[in-house]
Structure 1
Amino acid sequence: MEQDQKKLQGLSETLQKFQDDLQTAIEARQRLESQQAENKAVQKEFKGLAEDSDIYRLVGPVLLKQDKSEANSTVDGRLDFIGKEITRTETRIKEIQQGSEKKRVELIQLQQQMQMAAQGQVQS
């Protein structure tokens, strides 16, 4: 019975770790989606600008003039990278959810076994 309690405790701790990892991954995905939205807004603004418009980039405390095509390619590259990171993060979330579900089923089965064993001892 003591061994089952230790196993139950271990499964509970593992399940809690899965939940913590899931929360962290979801927060990361939300940050990436926010960055993606910001960059899409910048991309939309660039499309509305004339070719000869001046674009400035904030680098530390300084505004540096930047070529429109260079600024466009920077934003496009950022959007591509963010999209890949979102995909990677979503894959990680699915993996965590699957692992969590397996541990949850294991935990429930162990609890049921322990209840049956306890009932068997009570009836004896």
Structure 2
Amino acid sequence: MAASPALRELQHDLETQTNAFSKIQKDIAKNHQVRKQYTIQLGENELVLKELNILNEDANVYKLIGPVLVKQDLAEARANVRKRIEYISVELKRLEGTLQDLEDKQNSKREAVSDTLLPSSYH
């Protein structure tokens, strides 16, 4: 016995909704992974800045460029690390906003799947 057109349409709608829901979940997981990496980098850079702030103004600071250590001015090193910290902080805030949007979409897709399975008259 073949499925009725209404049942096929319901099944198609449900598949579409669950696929969209799964994609959002994958995007959320990816966002968490990227945020984790940025959080680690932020901690490392804050530690580097603390170390640079401990140094005397006449201390030698070297930057690794490829296989070569190049002497760098202490003030320039501090400025570079501060810029990196600022950039990472901005990215973390952006990712937090993106995560909030994704979670909102996830909640609405969850409701859409629920509504597809149980029409509003059954809630």
TM-score, length of structure 1 as denominator length: 0.90
SS at match of 1:3: helix
Partner of 1:122: none
1:67 counterpart = 2:66: no
Partner of 1:121: none
**Structure 1 stretches of 4+ moved >2 Å:** none
* 1:8-27 to 2 correspondences below 5 Å: 8-27=14-33
Partner of 2:118: 112
Partner of 1:40: 46
1:53 counterpart = 2:62: no
TM-align CA RMSD: 0.8
Q: Give the C-alpha shift of residue 49 in structure 1.
A: 0.5
Q: How many residues align?
A: 114
Q: Which runs of 5+ in 2 are unaligned?
A: 1-6
Report % sequence identity.
30
Partner of 1:3: 9
TM-score, length of structure 2 as denominator length: 0.91
SS at match of 1:46: helix
Mapped to 2, the partners of 1:110 and 1:82 lie a distance apart of 41
Mapped to 2, the partners of 1:2 and 1:53 lie a distance apart of 74
Q: Give the C-alpha shift of residue 109 in structure 1.
A: 1.3
SS at match of 2:71: strand
Q: Give the C-alpha shift of residue 84 in structure 1.
A: 0.3
- What residue identity is the alignment partner of 2:17? L
Partner of 2:4: none
Say which of 98, 104, 109 aligns to 2:104: 98
Mapped to 2, the partners of 1:92 and 1:16 lie a distance apart of 17
Q: Give the C-alpha shift of residue 58 in structure 1.
A: 0.5
Q: Give the C-alpha shift of residue 3 in structure 1.
A: 0.3
- What residue identity is the alignment partner of 2:91? E
Partner of 2:3: none
Partner of 1:119: none
